[in-house]
Amino acid sequence: MKKHKGYQFLTPRVELFPKKRTSAKKYDQGVGKNLNEKLFAVEENKNEEIDGKHISSVMSYDTGDNINIEKIKTILPHRYPFLLVDKVIHVERNKKIIGIKQVSANEQFFNGHFPAKAVMPGVLQVEALAQLGGILCLTNEENSGRDNLFLFAGVDGVRWKKPVLPGDTLVMEVEQISFKPTLGVAKLRGCAYVGGHVVLKVAEMTFALAR
């Protein structure tokens, strides 16, 4: 059976933000296989039994630098029902961060969006991505250990690709474009996946340090 290391199975094998411009259709086709295919892929024996232990090990996201929900609460001021990052599974200071949001059927917003067909609101997907970006900003070398607060100041180039439904695991990746400590302004970009497919792309998010 093929072994998966760290979080590599979650992200596409192509660059998240390719240097060459490409169409959205080609970009989506380049994103890795469906997560279910990866979870249940068996190379040598197609009849090999899949059990809970195997699935649990693949879904653990243990990269050695995880930030759990209790630690996240010491970084972000958000609280239930508006804290939309459950775990950080990888972070590189001043560079990028990867985190997850487990979308439960018990989310409050599903009561009205929509009662007959539950879909996670697109604006909350962007908010979840922004909160992950906020964690990156607040754990950067310039801000680590300080009682700072970054406010969401702007967003450009938002594209939703697929709906996010109850039971989905929203895997988010945010990359820092620039940070100007003297101005307290950070620019980031991000992408979110469900099952290896792109569900959301944001070309640029702007954050401003509250003074």
Catalytic residues: 113
Q: How many helices (H) and strands (E) does the chain have?
A: 5, 6
Report the C-alpha gap between 194 and 172 in whole angstroms.
9
Dihedral over Cα of 192, 63, 177, 151: its sign: positive
Report the 10 Å Cβ neighbour count for 201. 20
- Return the DSSP state at 7: T
Question: Tell me, what amino acid is at 207?
Answer: F
Report the C-alpha gap between 172 and 23 in whole angstroms.
21
Phi-psi region of 210 (alpha: psi -120 to 50; beta: other; left: phi over 0): beta
